[in-house]
Amino acid sequence: MDFAFTEEHEELRQTVRRFLEGKSDEAAVRALMTTERGYSEEVWTQMAEQMALQGMMVPEQYGGNGFGPVEMSVVMEEMGRSLLCAPYLSTAVFAVNALMEVGAEEAKAEILPNVSAGQCIATVALTEAGRGWDVEAIETRAERDGDAWRLTGSKAYVLDGHIADVLLVTARADDGVGLFRVEGAADNFVRTLTPTLDLTRKMATLDMTGTHATRVDGGGDRAESLRKVVASTIVALAAEQVGGAQKCLELSTEFAKTRLQFGRPIGSFQAIKHRCADMLVEVEFARSAAYNAAFRAAENGDQAEILASSSMAKSYCSEAYFGIAADTIQVHGGMGFTWEHPAHLYFKRAKSSSALFGEPVEHREKIAAHLGL
């Protein structure tokens, strides 16, 4: 593997960066994070129309670009850098991955074109309160009702669950864990916005009591495939974490150069300088972890290695991003503790991302098992 990003990748990166610098600056983030909706419909439309971002990984036959994990990493890294408030991880990554991995043809043909066009918000409801991120732990039940199904149970931490048009809910049927589609406006379906630690990422709880649903996978136990969906979503998330971590390093370095105390820039004191140097090492290692996972996923070789590399990225990038964000608060001194300064936005995004899709220690457990330790 030679980690060769092409000129096209660079162009994509610069295009997305410029767009986000304009449309997702700090003021925009602060404004959107306090709304319930959590995103700008106008910017969402522009993302689709100007750069076809929602359809990045949707195959061309469904109106997308047919790109892969490496391209998605470039985009996610930029989104993480600017803390973009948008239902992108949910719609363009998690839901698209789920449909592509387990979705039957009709489901793909029905949903993916709308996703690509930026006309529908989609999400996957996987985890349940107090039950962790393992697919095996799912208790939400799916019971047949003629040609359709009825779901009963509660889902938690559903990305953009309160506003999604298409909710892909994992539930346990007689033949195993499957993926079911619930309409946002369904009866016996209560969606509640969760008061999140990270206001820039909206989540919801779903309460279903015999909620009408259609099955989108072809039947049978799809647990294995759903695990793969989580793994590929994590790869994108890792890139987002790297983007945020890099931005934090830049904020810290800039502050260290300009904040004067005791007659000189604080960056000229080794305690600060060395902290920044350590942050740099962490960013580069996190970058290696994220790119390694993306390039491996793109190669599509040994599946066990792909899963291991995604867990490695989740574990390392989560801890690196969090450490760097924490250090950023510290480098900024008192200012770092104010609402007014952006450090806490990254800090909260970092810690929350760390908890999403399994804590670092859980992923390390998977790696330890993979290594036979």
Partner 1 sequence: MAQAEMSQAEMSEDELRQRVGALLEEANPDRVDQFTFRGKQYDHGLAWVHFPEGYGGLGLNPKMQAIVNDEIRAHAKTVYEDLNVNPIGIGMGAPVVLTHGTQEMKDTLLKRIFTGEDIWCQLFSEPSAGSDVAGLSSRAVRDGDDWVVNGQKVWTTLAHISKWGMLVSRTNPDVPKHKGMSYFLLDMEAPGVDVRPLYQITGEAEFNEVFLSDVRIPVERMLGAEGDGWKVAITTLMNERSALGGGSGRKGGGPIGILMNLWKHHRAAGRTPATNAVLRDEITQLYIKSELLRVTSQRARAASKAGNPGPEGSVGKLAQAELYKKVWECGQEIIGADSLVFEAGYELRRPGVDEKRDSRAYAKYQFLRSRANSIEGGTSEIMRNILGERVLGLPGEPRVDKDIPWKDVPRGG
Question: In the complex with partner 1, which residue's Cβ is closer, 148 or 281?
Answer: 281
Measured CA to CA, the distance from residue 123 to residue 102 in angstroms comes to 14
- We find the least distance from the C-beta atom of residue 284 to partner 1, in angstroms, to be 5
Q: Does 185 bind partner 1 (CB under 8 A)?
A: no
The residue from 93, 312, 343, 356 that contacts partner 1 (CB under 8 A) is 312
The residue from 278, 301, 302, 337 that contacts partner 1 (CB under 8 A) is 278
Question: In the complex with partner 1, which residue's Cβ is closer, 215 or 287?
Answer: 287
Strand runs labelled E in the chain? 122-125, 141-145, 148-159, 166-173, 176-183, 189-193, 203-215, 260-261, 264-265
Question: In the complex with partner 1, which residue's Cβ is closer, 123 or 353?
Answer: 353
The residue from 34, 60, 109, 274 that contacts partner 1 (CB under 8 A) is 274
Contact range with partner 1 by CB under 8 A, out of 50-58, 68-76, 118-126, 277-285: 277-285
Q: Does 315 bind partner 1 (CB under 8 A)?
A: yes
Q: Does 27 bind partner 1 (CB under 8 A)?
A: no
Q: Does 316 bind partner 1 (CB under 8 A)?
A: yes
Considering only residues 165 to 184 of the shown chain, the ones binding partner 1 according to CB under 8 A are none
Considering only residues 279 to 308 of the shown chain, the ones binding partner 1 according to CB under 8 A are 280-281, 283-285, 287-289, 291-292
Measured CA to CA, the distance from residue 330 to residue 326 in angstroms comes to 6
CB-based contact 160:123 (threshold 8 Å): yes
- We find the least distance from the C-beta atom of residue 319 to partner 1, in angstroms, to be 9
Q: Is the dihedral of CA 319, 233, 126, 40 positive or negative?
A: positive
Q: Does 354 bind partner 1 (CB under 8 A)?
A: no
Contact range with partner 1 by CB under 8 A, out of 67-75, 77-85, 191-199, 365-373: 365-373
Instruction: Give the chain's length.
Output: 373
CB-based contact 233:189 (threshold 8 Å): no
- 34-45 in b/e form (b: 16+ CB < 10 A) is eeeebbbeebbe
With residue 88 as reference, give the H or E element that holds it. Answer: helix 88-88
Chain centroid offset of residue 30 CA: 19
With residue 309 as reference, give the H or E element that holds it. Answer: helix 303-331
Site size with partner 1, rule: CB under 8 A: 41
Question: In the complex with partner 1, which residue's Cβ is closer, 316 or 321?
Answer: 316
CB-based contact 216:177 (threshold 8 Å): no
| Beta strand pairing call for 166-173 and 122-125 | parallel
Q: Does 276 bind partner 1 (CB under 8 A)?
A: yes
Contact range with partner 1 by CB under 8 A, out of 22-30, 80-88, 146-154, 264-272: 264-272
- We find the least distance from the C-beta atom of residue 371 to partner 1, in angstroms, to be 7
| Beta strand pairing call for 148-159 and 141-145 | antiparallel
Considering only residues 220 to 259 of the shown chain, the ones binding partner 1 according to CB under 8 A are 249, 253, 256-257
List the beta bridge partners of residue 181: 168, 214
Q: For residue 136, what are the CA distances in angstroms to 150, 176, 341?
A: 20, 10, 41
Q: Which two tokens stand for residue 114?
A: 């709308």
Residues forming contacts to partner 1 in the complex (CB under 8 A) are 1-4, 249, 253, 256-257, 264-265, 267-270, 272-274, 276-278, 280-281, 283-285, 287-289, 291-292, 312, 315-316, 361, 364-365, 367-368, 371-373
